[in-house]
């Protein structure tokens, strides 16, 4: 036997759950422009994640460890780009933040592609013999965007070479 009002209670619960779900989908994504402090914090966090990832690559103990760390770095740099891409940066920072996001997205792809190439035995010898380091145009693009943000007053360091 149905209790009186149970249908209304069920409908109210479903409506409340739907409202909570819709509200939950928008948490963390504000249409309000970020403050200068939020821009700075987000840019510094992304830069530090990238720098940490590259530093870890240099501590690899063998080629397999190196490749694992390259792939981890690719994931971490991609995640940093995704997080920074969610920032609603206001003018005058928006264009340079967008450039930084694009450079980090490309850097993630470059890392993954390089690791993939190094996993191919026929390419490994040619890539490693005489190599003095790995250089990516996307790294330079990221540093150009960081330099532009620095010129706009954002306190952040350029990415380091390892």
Q: Give the structural domain span for 139.
A: 36-151
116 Cβ contact list (under 8 Å, min separation 6) = none
85 or 162, which is more confident? 85
pLDDT digit string, tens, across residues 69-112: 999 999 999 999 999 999 999 999 999 999 999 999 999 999 99
Looking at the domain assignment, is residue 103 inside a domain? yes
User: What's the confidence (pLDDT) of residue 120?
Assistant: 79
Looking at the domain assignment, is residue 89 inside a domain? yes
104 or 132, which is more confident? 104
Looking at the domain assignment, is residue 90 inside a domain? yes
DSSP string, 89-133: PPTTTHHHHHHHHHHHHHHHHHHHHHHHHHTSHHHHHHHHTT---
Looking at the domain assignment, is residue 9 inside a domain? no
% of the chain residues with pLDDT over 90 = 62
Q: Give mean pLDDT, residues 2-25.
A: 40
pLDDT band, very low/low/confident/very high, at 10 (cuts 50, 70, 90): very low
What's the whole-number average pLDDT of the chain? 82
127 Cβ contact list (under 8 Å, min separation 6) = 117, 118
Looking at the domain assignment, is residue 157 inside a domain? no
Looking at the domain assignment, is residue 114 inside a domain? yes
Question: Is 150 a residue whose pLDDT tops 60?
Answer: yes
Name the domain count of the chain: 1
Looking at the domain assignment, is residue 160 inside a domain? no
CB 33 within 8 A of CB 89: yes
The tokens for 40 are 């700075």
In this structure, the chain runs to a length of 162
pLDDT band, very low/low/confident/very high, at 17 (cuts 50, 70, 90): very low
pLDDT band, very low/low/confident/very high, at 127 (cuts 50, 70, 90): low
Looking at the domain assignment, is residue 23 inside a domain? no
């Amino acid at each position: 036997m149905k209790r009186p009002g149970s249908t209304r209670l069920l409908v109210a619960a479903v409506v409340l759950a739907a409202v909570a779900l819709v509200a939950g989908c928008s948490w963390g994504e504000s249409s309000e422009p970020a403050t200068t402090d939020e821009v700075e914090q987000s840019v510094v966090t992304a830069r530090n994640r990238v720098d940490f990832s590259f530093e870890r690559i240099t501590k690899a103990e063998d080629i397999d460890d190196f490749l694992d760390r390259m792939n981890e770095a690719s994931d971490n740099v991609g995640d940093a780009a995704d997080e920074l891409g969610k920032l609603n940066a206001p003018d005058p920072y928006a264009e340079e933040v967008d450039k930084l996001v694009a450079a980090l997205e490309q850097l993630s792809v470059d890392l993954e592609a390089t690791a993939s190439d190094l996993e191919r035995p026929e390419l490994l010898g040619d890539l490693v013999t005489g190599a003095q380091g790995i250089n990516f145009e996307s790294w330079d693009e990221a540093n150009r965007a960081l330099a532009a943000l620095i010129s706009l007053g954002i306190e952040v360091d350029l990415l380091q070479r390892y």
